[in-house]
Structure 1
Amino acid sequence: MNIKLRLTIVSFMQFFVWGAWLITIANYWFGTKQWDGAQFGLIFATMGFASLFMPTLTGIIADKWINAEKLYAILHILYAGTLFYIPQVDTPNEFFWIIFLAMCFYMPTISLSNSISYTTLKSAKLDVVKDFPPIRVWGTIGFIAAMWITNLTGSKANANQFYIAGISALALGLYAFTLPKCIPSKLLEEKATFAQKIGLDAFKLFANFKMALFFIFSMFLGGALQLTNAYGDVFLDEFKLFPIYAESFVIKYSTIIMSISQVSETLFILAIPFFLKRFGIKKVMVIAMLAWVFRFGLFAYGDPAGNLWMIVLSCIVYGMAFDFFNISGSLFVETSTTAKTRSSAQGLFMMMTNGFGAVLGSIVSGWMIQKYFTQAYTNIQSLAEHVGSATNDQHLLKFLGDKGISVLANGELSRGLEVKDWHNIWLSFTIYALMITVLFMIFFKHKHSRAEVAAIEEAIAH
């Protein structure tokens, strides 16, 4: 089989096994399990916790002791095993630890998949710069495909989403054993300290005020990156509580609507070279931050009926918000560090956004939403008053699902039905993103120059 086709399959499956549950897990947590919302933030924090140490450790292992493709295969098989176990979990605390274990297995495979692709393409005498991007874009397509399959099979609120991901991860793990060998390079110097080996030397960059500011802002913006992944789909799904929206397309296919964000991501990435050369790194990062402001603001005022265009536009804006900051930030690191510290600095950038930032955003948002923006209704009358006079027993029966009959019979919601004030939740996120943007514009000093354009062109070329 053509090597580029084989790597395309790996890229597609790499993100398929994540997309099958990442956007819809909130529906499982809040809808099926009806667990405490404050604890849900910790679930998305597991990605950040795992990103703090697992990619570095597995990178060392792949460099020194075991073929990268074999390590990649083993990690995906272990990831599949944890996914198969998730439906058996009955408590939020156990759920957290199982998801954390799954992320410890999965997160390192993202960088490993890139490493395998680079090594294999070079071994085949192919041009990495030319041939890798068309392969990588299939990863985003895989993520979209998984979202669609989860939604269209009626699995977005039940345990089947984990089985879809688990079966796919198992298949990918077995397939990875057949990939061309990526023999350990043993590039790490034996005399290097452990701190140097795991990239802690990069923290010396904090001695540079400009770099320190960049990493701090990266962390705070990283706190916003997972918010729509965590809450976007359940936000749309909870419109079903209101009879006027209950039968709308958006409610039935909320995950498909959310997938517009990933489609947008694949398109905006093509526009990055133009924006970087025309406006420079700082302005592109500001554009990305403003895009986050619009992403959250449009969600705040959107609904599945008259303001559906706001929800769609918010999903389109996501591509700019996500791509522009991640890539311009990576290029800033690339053009502002020496060859000796560059790799460690890139690792630190990822650690601050996907590690510390993701943990900060997930935990704080979960606590904030539960404490200030969630109302628990314990009887039918109070719930009916909330959703409006058009509510009737038949609609509530459908909304409450299998437990609806007993609930309507005694007029009580035994565990309490939690309803979130999504308008003010998204407004809070909007204000947060706007504050970060304004502070970044004021304090981060960086000028666009011909030298920067040349550096950007060289970085993009390589």
Structure 2
Amino acid sequence: MKPYVRFQLSLMMFLEFFIWGGWFVTLGTFLGNNLEATGAQSAMAFSTQSWGAIIAPFIIGLIADKFFNAERILGVLHLAGAFLMYQMSQTTDFAAFYPYVLGYMIAYMPTLALVNSVAFRQMKNPSKDFGWIRVFGTIGWIVAGFAISLLGWDSQEGIQEGLLSNTFTMTAIASAILGVFSFLLPKTPPVKSDKEQSLIEKTGLSSITMLKNKNFLIFFISSILICIPLAFYYQNTNPFLTELKMENPTLKQSIGQISEVLFMLLLPVFLLRFGIKKTLLFGMIAWVLRYLLFAFGNADELSFMLIIGIALHGICYDFFFVSGQIYTDSKAGSDNKSAAQGLITLATYGVGMLIGFWVAGQITDTYLIGELHDWRTIWVYPAGFAALVFLFFLIAFKNEKIEYKGEKV
């Protein structure tokens, strides 16, 4: 790959995830403090991610893959996102905010597949090159968190002054930059195929036949169920840390992304040493431990428990979701791999998270006492649920070998 193209793709990934991390992490705190949203309303806002994930395959499968260059539709979606993000920064009540965040996520979620499409088409050896390009996305997310905390927008004073609205302005500017920059990316026209695909094939639903395999069905169900406790993390962690008056909460949450990079490097070691079932189980039990640490930690002498809970993100995400993608790829046929990944994404970020955000909102509202939350009780719920999913998978999923890096694991 030419150095200039590598730079373009790296900057594209950096901006793509800088944009996501620049507002989504602090969204719960913004909603509660700036818009006085209830837990149920926060759940509605976070659920827009799921609606975007559900709609995204139709945008990509029926429009981008057939009629337009990927880099052009990427640019249009980010320019539209810049406008919607700016409008979000100007809202003062939830009723006005919700249509904008819904429109934004419907525009943003398809871009996650589009940046991958643009990147893969420029690579001669994706298995070698993609990781080095994708890591700039994680760096972008981390930089966004650092910026929010260093500028004091998530400090107690900043929150009281309503400065979290600046996150949307910052993100709108980044989205506009990526929107314009996208038109300068390498041309990525639709791939012409001799075979006309049906609607079901284009949206990835053709891979639903994989569910006939009992082991894959157990994995599929577990993937949806584990997203219910996952939603608690995305929706509640920043408001939780803020309510405990932890300093620089958004910066501290970036430890989770740093951990994600480190455990991604360790993932092959675990897969080769312990196999796919145990690696997936490690990921699930990490969710239980994380939420127990959140439940019994505090921002004072037990603050280390909260930091460890955040740092477990690498195991929670990489060992289950990335391992799950590897498992899915191994079970899919050669002509069904993209569709299979689309099905899992639809099930997790779509259906699973949609249920999870609703559950998290209901439980959070139930344990609101005055202006504060009973966080210990709130966090016990996802810990218990993750433990049940762990036991279900442990008992129901039969150990099996898959092909990974040329070896059976």
Taking the TM superposition and a 5 Å limit, the aligned residue runs for 1:94-133 are: 94-122=96-124, 127-133=125-131
Secondary structure (helix, strand or coil) at the match of 2:299 reads coil
The aligned residue for residue 433 of structure 1 is: 386
The aligned residue for residue 330 of structure 2 is: 335
Taking the TM superposition and a 5 Å limit, the aligned residue runs for 1:331-370 are: 331-370=326-365
Displacement, 1:209?
2.5
TM-score, structure 1 length as denominator?
Answer: 0.83
8 Å CA contact retained: 1:63, 1:187: no
The aligned residue for residue 185 of structure 2 is: 179
8 Å CA contact retained: 1:258, 1:315: yes
The aligned residue for residue 456 of structure 1 is: 404
8 Å CA contact retained: 1:225, 1:322: no
Counterpart of 2:377, as a letter, is N
Counterpart of 1:359, as a letter, is L
Q: Distance in 2 between matches of 1:457 and 1:150?
A: 39
Taking the TM superposition and a 5 Å limit, the aligned residue runs for 1:23-422 are: 23-122=25-124, 127-156=125-154, 157=159, 158-187=164-193, 189-190=195-196, 192-240=197-245, 251-371=246-366, 373-376=367-370, 418-422=371-375
Counterpart of 2:353, as a letter, is A
Q: Relative to structure 1, is the Cα distance of residues 446 and 12 closer, same or farther in structure 2, using a 3 angstrom cutoff?
A: same
The aligned residue for residue 384 of structure 1 is: none
Residues 306-365 of structure 1 deviation map (CA, whole Å, 9 limit, x = unaligned): 111111111111111111111111111111221232221111111111110110100111
Displacement, 1:188?
7.4
Where do 5+ consecutive residues of structure 2 fail to align? none
Q: Distance in 2 between matches of 1:150 and 1:329?
A: 32
Displacement, 1:459?
9.2
Counterpart of 2:341, as a letter, is Q
8 Å CA contact retained: 1:222, 1:352: no
Residues 24-56 of structure 1 deviation map (CA, whole Å, 9 limit, x = unaligned): 111111112212222111111111111012134
8 Å CA contact retained: 1:296, 1:314: yes
Displacement, 1:94?
3.4
The aligned residue for residue 442 of structure 1 is: 395
Residues 81-106 of structure 1 deviation map (CA, whole Å, 9 limit, x = unaligned): 11000133343233222111111111
Q: Distance in 2 between matches of 1:172 and 1:354?
A: 24
Q: Distance in 2 between matches of 1:236 and 1:82?
A: 28
Residues 226-252 of structure 1 deviation map (CA, whole Å, 9 limit, x = unaligned): 321221111011013xxxxxxxxxx23
- Larger of the two Rg values belongs to structure: 1
Counterpart of 2:405, as a letter, is E
Equivalent pairs counted in the alignment come to 398
The aligned residue for residue 377 of structure 2 is: 424
Q: Distance in 2 between matches of 1:303 and 1:316?
A: 16
TM-score, structure 2 length as denominator?
Answer: 0.93
- Let me know the Cα RMSD of the aligned residues: 1.7
Task: State the identity %.
Answer: 33
Q: Distance in 1 between matches of 2:95 and 2:34?
A: 16
Secondary structure (helix, strand or coil) at the match of 1:53 reads helix
Query: Which sits farther off after the overlay, 153-162 or 174-183?
Result: 153-162
Q: Distance in 2 between matches of 1:340 and 1:348?
A: 14
Residues 118-166 of structure 1 deviation map (CA, whole Å, 9 limit, x = unaligned): 11234xxxx3222221111110010010011112222234210100100
8 Å CA contact retained: 1:18, 1:143: yes
Q: Distance in 2 between matches of 1:254 and 1:180?
A: 38
